[in-house]
Amino acid sequence: MSTARMLRRLVAATIVVALGGAAFARAARPAASPAGTEMPRAPGFSERAERDVQIRVWHQALDADPTSAIVTGQLAALHFQRAREGGGWDDYLKAEAFARRSVGKRTKRNSAASSTLVSILLAQHRFTEAREIAEALVRAEPEVAAYRASLAEVAMELGDDAAADTLFRSVWSERGTLTTAARLARWLELNNHVPEAHRLLITARADALSRRDVARETQAWFHLRVGDLELRRGRLGDAAAAYSAGLALEPEDPRLLAAMARYEMARRNWREAIVWGERAMAVQLDPATLGLIGDAYSALGNRAKADEYFRTLEVAVSLQPGAYHRAWSLHLLEHGLQVGAVLEKATDELRARKDVYGYDIVALALEKSGRHAEAQAAMRSALRLQTPDPLLERHARELGVTAVLTGAP
Amino acid sequence: MHTLPVPLIRTVCRALALLLLVSRVADAHAIHTTVTQLTADARGLTVMIRAFADDLSSSVATHAGRSAPADHSVSEPEALRYVQSQFMIGTAERRLVTFESCGVRRADDMIWLCVRVPSMRALTGVAIRNQMLTELHADQINIVQVDDRGARQTLLFRKGSAPSTIKAGT
């Protein structure tokens, strides 16, 4: 295809996108309420409506040029972003399909689409496939730190500590960029370098908040990350401050609402935890939040209500496709339920994914199965990075394994 | 084969890069849900149901005896009949109420259905059972959040769940 022809196509696509601006202005206006009733807007993130319009407009661009790798790459990114902003599960699947179509159409100078595909696969917990794509990206463009950081993240999730360590060291000089800082901070925290992780996250959050080109959902996510780090190291006030700052940006962010529920649970404020958890659930249902609300009712002595949530959690998770759910597995183990099935699934997952939290579940399942020595061995693997997480510390104590942790301030 | 000029590609792809600054490992599970807000006040009982458009459109169409439209739309009268058949509200005197529609609104992949019972102004003792979309998904979970003049509670319904009775002052 000639450059002139491709340029014409691109210009056509750009005009469609430009016209979309006007469409957005119209679409963003609240719709008239039928029959005098005030209809609520779609729940979730503040820029969701903008994302819907962007997607519509880029689909029009796709109609104008169905073979464009650029347009399909854009649609992959937009559907992925909408999935994170409370879109349906279909958005992940559409994002993946568009990313694969873009990569299939053009490999040269189309690394962004491959990078998007890695993120989409990670979001679906398809770590092995993500690794293949990320490795190909790094092979093609080894000088790009963001791609090495992406591969490092995949290695971290798979529990390949040596590869993750090598790759993260290779991007240390790029720690000032948002793409690298967030991933590096998690690796530092996992390895018990909490003050460094904290500094990195605080700097990255400030950077994200100062940039007008960063989605508000992403800015809120940085508050969430800071809050979670503070919560894990026992600084509850700082955690609440971070979550509140995130909610000021995105009042309906279900991740932050659920985080507030966890914060109130940590303070043993069961009723407040229920209120926050139910607010989160109204936007997006998450099994961990169902379990948390059930636990809060249980702590209040309301056994009937707790059981209602636990039964719902069982239905929610038992029929889900794909990888088994760790939060649900932990819930089952801590309540002494389905121990054999959880052990089987967790052991199976460990074959491909050997991260510390995978070992933690296997350790707990082995312990509940009466296999104490094997449980202790698995727990030692869970503690191999000396990760300062109260959950790991508690399980280690229960199994009689000494944890060498210094996460507390 | 010619390729596009790099600066032009950079300009067009800028939004893509900015959206994907950081990767995030999400919770890898889709859960089938509807969320209903049930409010009792001086205007009566208002039931605002939020559901994914594709699921609701499919169920409403099947209930009406026709195939689902490609655009995942619903007709208001058919939606009302579907809600009436799947969402049960029984008075304290064990009488099933009849809804009237107060609108349907599409917001991209979601649909809001509004139904109302003008004669019902309080919820204490009322029995509720929401089985919407359970014929479509065995793991369907319907969340009903009740606001009875400021007193709030949340009810959960799965396939085959029994009715829940709203308690006073919860």
Residues of A with CB below 8 A from B104's CB?
34
**SS3 assignment, position A220:** helix
CA-to-CA separations, B54 to A225, A263, B25, B51, B71, in angstroms, rounded:
33, 36, 26, 9, 8
Q: Is the pLDDT of residue A88 over 80?
A: no
The reply to whether A94 touches chain B by the CB within 8 Å rule is: no
Among A64, A78, A69, which residue's Cα sits nearest to residue A24?
Answer: A78
Q: Is the pLDDT of residue A331 over 60?
A: yes
| Better-scored residue on pLDDT, B10 or B126 | B126
| Of A166-170, B109-113, B114-118, minimum mean pLDDT range | B109-113
| Phi (first) and psi of residue B115, to 5 degrees | -130, 155
In the 3-class helix/strand/coil scheme, how is chain B assigned residue by residue?
CCCCCHHHHHHHHHHHHHHCCCCCCCCCCCCCEEEEEEEEECCEEEEEEEEEHHHHHHHHHHHCCCCCCCCCCCCHHHHHHHHHHHEEEECCCCCECCCEEEEEEEECCEEEEEEEECCCCCCCCCEEEECCCCCCCCCCEEEEEEEECCEEEEEEECCCCCCEECCCCC
CB B124 within 8 A of CB B92: yes
CA-to-CA separations, A29 to A25, A41, A320, in angstroms, rounded:
7, 11, 36
Residues of B with CB below 8 A from A80's CB?
19-20
Q: Is the pLDDT of residue A35 over 60?
A: no
* Mean pLDDT taken over chain A: 87
pLDDT in tens, A138-184: 999 999 999 999 999 999 999 999 999 999 999 999 999 988 999 99
Inter-chain CB proximity A112 and B50 less than 8 Å: no
Give the nearest partner residue to B28 out of A90, A125, A316, using CB atoms: A125
Among B104, B97, B86, which residue's Cα sits nearest to residue B144?
Answer: B86
Q: What is the pLDDT of residue B92?
A: 85
Q: Report the residue of chain B nearest A41, measured CA to CA.
A: B107
Question: B-contacting residues of A 270-329, CB under 8 Å?
Answer: 278, 281-282, 285-288, 308-309, 311-312, 315-320, 322-323, 325
Q: Is the pLDDT of residue A24 over 70?
A: no
pLDDT in tens, A44-55: 788 888 888 899
Q: Is the pLDDT of residue A19 over 50?
A: no
Among B14, B143, B22, B15, which residue's Cα sits nearest to residue A179?
Answer: B22
Q: Kindly provide the b/e burial profile for residues A26-46, where b requires at least 16 CB atoms within 10 angstroms of the residue's own CB.
A: ebeeeeeebeebebeebbbbb
Task: Specify which residues A4 forms β-bridges with.
Answer: none
Gap between the Cα atoms of A262 and A254, Å rounded? 12
Element holding A353 (H helix, E strand): none
Q: Is the pLDDT of residue A21 over 50?
A: no
Provide the terminal-to-terminal Cα distance of chain A, rounded to the nearest Å: 61
Q: What is the pLDDT of residue A145?
A: 93
Give pairs for A185-190: CB < 8 Å, separation 24+: A185/A225, A185/A229, A186/A153, A186/A156, A187/A152, A187/A156, A189/A229, A189/A232, A189/A387, A189/A388, A190/A156, A190/A356, A190/A385, A190/A387
Q: Kindly provide the b/e burial profile for residues B80-101, where b requires at least 16 CB atoms within 10 angstroms of the residue's own CB.
A: bbbbbebbebbeeeeeebebeb
Q: What is the pLDDT of residue B102?
A: 94
Inter-chain CB proximity A115 and B20 less than 8 Å: yes
Mean pLDDT of all residues in A119-143: 93
Q: What is the pLDDT of residue B19?
A: 56
Share of chain A above pLDDT 70, in %: 85
Mean pLDDT of all residues in B26-51: 84
The count of other CB atoms within 10 Å of the CB of residue A2 is 9
CA-to-CA separations, A131 to A109, A120, A128, A134, in angstroms, rounded:
20, 12, 5, 5
Q: What is the pLDDT of residue A17?
A: 47
Q: Choose the mutation target among A56, A151, A289, A312 for the interface with B, i.e. most B CBs under 10 Å.
A: A312
B25 confidence band (pLDDT: 50, 70, 90) = low
Q: Is the pLDDT of residue B51 over 60?
A: yes
Q: Is the pLDDT of residue A185 over 90?
A: yes
Gap between the Cα atoms of A246 and A255, Å rounded? 10
- Two structure tokens written together for A234: 């026992």
B16 confidence band (pLDDT: 50, 70, 90) = low
Residues of B with CB below 8 A from A281's CB?
143, 154
For tokens 């007709």, the residue is: B75
> In angstroms, how far is CA A252 from the centroid of its own chain?
16
> In angstroms, how far is CA A137 from the centroid of its own chain?
22
Q: What is the pLDDT of residue A399?
A: 95
Q: What is the pLDDT of residue B26?
A: 59
pLDDT in tens, A256-303: 999 999 999 999 999 999 999 999 998 888 888 999 999 999 999 999
Among A43, A41, A103, which residue's Cα sits nearest to residue A77?
Answer: A103
Q: Is the pLDDT of residue A101 over 50?
A: yes
Inter-chain CB proximity B37 and A183 less than 8 Å: no
Quote the pTM value: 0.84
Mean pLDDT of all residues in A312-341: 78
CA-to-CA separations, A141 to A46, A145, B17, in angstroms, rounded:
36, 9, 17
Inter-chain CB proximity B154 and A315 less than 8 Å: no
pLDDT in tens, B77-93: 999 999 999 999 999 88
Residues of A with CB below 8 A from B114's CB?
34-35, 37, 39
A136 confidence band (pLDDT: 50, 70, 90) = very high
Inter-chain CB proximity A34 and B103 less than 8 Å: yes
pLDDT in tens, A195-248: 999 999 999 999 999 998 899 999 999 999 999 999 999 999 999 999 999 999
Question: B-contacting residues of A 48-77, CB under 8 Å?
Answer: 52, 54, 70, 73-74, 77
ipTM score: 0.78
pLDDT in tens, A364-387: 999 999 999 999 999 999 999 999
